Structure 1
Amino acid sequence: MHFPRFRIFTWIILAINALFLVWIIVGTASRPTATTATCDSLDLQTCQAASDVGTVIGVGLIIGLWVAADVILGILWLITRPKTRDCPACGRTVKRGRLDCKACGYNFAQAQPVVQTQPKPPLNPTVQS
Structure 2
Amino acid sequence: MRIAVRAWFCVWFVVGALGSLGLLTVLTVGLYLLPVAVAAGALLAVRRGSSAGLPGLVSGLGVPLLYVAFLNRDGPGNVCTTTASGQSCVDEFDPWPWLAAGTVLFLAGIVLAVLLRRRTGTGGPALG
Give the TM-score normalised by the residue count of structure 2: 0.34
Bigger radius of gyration, 1 or 2? 1
Structure number with the higher strand fraction is 2
Structure with the higher helix share, 1 or 2: 2
Higher relative contact order, structure no. (Cα contacts within 8 Å, ≥ 6 residues apart): 2
